[in-house]
Amino acid sequence: MQQDRYLLAERRKARNKMLGTVGVILLALGTAACVAYAMLYV
């Protein structure tokens, strides 16, 4: 029973790390898009 809880916690940690990485990548892409747009149209 204890091991099941441990596995669940590990899986949740891995998923959170993956979501965080995806969020950072999306943020970087959004920032790059804004900068490119500003450079092209200003």
DSSP-assigned letters across all residues of 2-41: HHHHHHHHHHHHHHHHHHHHHHHHHHHHHHHHHHHHHHHH
Task: Enter the pTM of the model.
Answer: 0.62
Tokens representing 23?
């969020």
pLDDT at 2: 79
Count CA within 13 A, CB hemisphere, residue 11.
6
User: What was the pLDDT predicted at 1?
Assistant: 64
Q: Encode pLDDT of 1-42 as tens digits.
A: 678 899 999 999 999 999 999 999 999 999 999 999 999 987
pLDDT of residue 42: 79
Q: What is residue 23's predicted lDDT score, i.e. its pLDDT? A: 96
Q: Which two structure tokens, joined as six digits, stand for 38?
A: 């500003």
